[in-house]
Amino acid sequence: MLDTILFPAIEPLRHGHLPVDELHTLYWECCGNPEGIPVLFLHGGPGSGISATSRRFFDPERYHIILLDQRGSGRSTPLGELRNNTTAHLIADIEALRHMLGIAKWLVFGGSWGSTLALAYSEAHPEHCLGLVLRGIWLGSEAEIDWWANGIRMVFPDAWARYAGHIPEAERDDLLAAYGRRLFSDDPALYLPAARAWAEYENVCAQLLPPPADEVMSDALVTAMGRLEAWYFTHRIFLPPDQLLNQVDRIRHLPCFIAHGRYDMVCPLRYAFQLKAVWPEAQLHVVADAGHTAGEPGIAHALVAATNHFAQHGEFQAFQPPAFSRFA
């Protein structure tokens, strides 16, 4: 079904590697129409990276599509690196890429952790943003992190039992710290099984319906994802509590569209409503038959409708996507 919702697959017009300090080099690519509306795609995770599907939420005739793998993610190097890896570093990297490409302003598009980074970046540099398209709002609060580590067992007790069961009973009073000790280790006998258990838990809980048997991720990629997610969780996303909500006034003048699945267990819907409460001008669309991922048909449909609407109108005032149901 997803192939009938997204734009056809395309290849990059150009791509490259951008050194941002003595340690990190970022992979980036540009697709679509170089004369079109610039749009920046920010992937989730942190640690996952972009894919060929990431390019397909935008009309390639109307958009200049810019994508990058964040520090330690995807094809950026070193993969899984934690040093010099904070939210402030990622914001600076986005600005470095914008300068390199000569982009004055761009639409910022991000889901899950990508929504977090999109908010942090736009609040830091509102003058360089045309607007935001967000999916699966995650504000990085203590409550959200605790929900991920512990609360999801209210809905996925079986998946949580496997995730918690990887940790000896004596350490289960703080699962995040216990996983961190393993994921941040240099011993593959410790970090690799922990990374696999972490990824399985997240993958099972992320979708409304049971996920298909996907291709198994490489050891390097699954380790990078587990390490970086645990790193940012442990450090409370390297931002003061509630900063993303407290600084919304810096971006309230920008058009914003938010798609969020009703049954999102990874990033619960209540936090999208918290954002909407301080940003009433933002258009929040609750997808009735969806969980968390951008691969949920209803979420993909809403995101494509939003990017098409912005390309035509340059705003989201009173915009809501056409009705859609995966079960229709």
Rounded Cα gap, residues 179 and 172, in angstroms: 10
Amino acid at 16: G
Give the domain-ending residue among 237, 268, 290. Answer: 237
Residue 323 lies inside a defined structural domain of this protein: no
Residue 292: active-site member: yes
Residues of the chain with pLDDT under 70: 213-215
Residue 57 lies inside a defined structural domain of this protein: yes
Residue 73: active-site member: no
Residue 152 lies inside a defined structural domain of this protein: yes
Rounded Cα gap, residues 18 and 266, in angstroms: 32
Same domain for 247 and 151, yes or no, is no
CB contact at 8 A, 59 and 7: yes
Same domain for 228 and 268, yes or no, is no
Same domain for 32 and 53, yes or no, is yes
DSSP string, 2-56: HHHHSPPP---SEEEEEE-SSS-EEEEEEEE-TTSEEEEEE-STTTT---GGGGG
Helix, strand, coil shares of the chain, percent, nearest 5, are 45, 15, 40
- The two tokens of residue 23 are 């340690």
Q: What's phi and psi for 246, nearest 5 deg?
A: -70, -25
Residue with tokens 């961190």: 180
Q: What's phi and psi for 134, nearest 5 deg?
A: -125, 155
193: helix, strand or coil: helix
Residue 166 lies inside a defined structural domain of this protein: yes
Give the domain-ending residue among 237, 267, 282. Answer: 237
pTM beyond 0.95: yes
Residue 148's pLDDT is 97
For the chain, state the CA radius of gyration: 19
DSSP E strand boundaries for 266-309? 283-287
Q: Which domain holds residue 111?
A: 2-141+239-313
Residue 251's pLDDT is 98
Residues 6+ apart with CB under 8 A from 68: 18, 26, 27, 28, 29, 40, 41, 50, 76, 93, 94, 97
Q: For strand 283-287 and strand 106-111, is the pairing parallel, antiparallel, or unpaired?
A: unpaired
Same domain for 217 and 280, yes or no, is no
Residue 96 lies inside a defined structural domain of this protein: yes
CATH number of the domain that 60 lies in? Answer: 3.40.50.1820
- The two tokens of residue 280 are 């009433």
Residue 214's pLDDT is 62
- The two tokens of residue 324 are 């859609």
Q: For strand 25-32 and strand 14-19, is the pairing parallel, antiparallel, or unpaired?
A: antiparallel
CB contact at 8 A, 292 and 207: yes
> Which residue is catalytic, options 69, 93, 264, 289?
264
Element (H, E) at 277: helix 270-278
Same domain for 167 and 84, yes or no, is no
DSSP string, 141-189: -HHHHHHHHTGGGGT-HHHHHHHHHTS-GGGGGGHHHHHHHHHT-S-HH
Residue 76: active-site member: no
Same domain for 245 and 304, yes or no, is yes
> Which residue is catalytic, options 128, 292, 301, 309?
292
Same domain for 99 and 18, yes or no, is yes
CB contact at 8 A, 57 and 32: no
Residue 318 lies inside a defined structural domain of this protein: no
Amino acid at 321: P
Give the domain-ending residue among 193, 212, 237. Answer: 237
CB contact at 8 A, 133 and 306: yes
The whole-angstrom distance between residue 201's C-alpha and the CA centroid of its chain comes to 17
> Which residue is catalytic, options 48, 54, 73, 112?
112
Amino acid at 274: Q
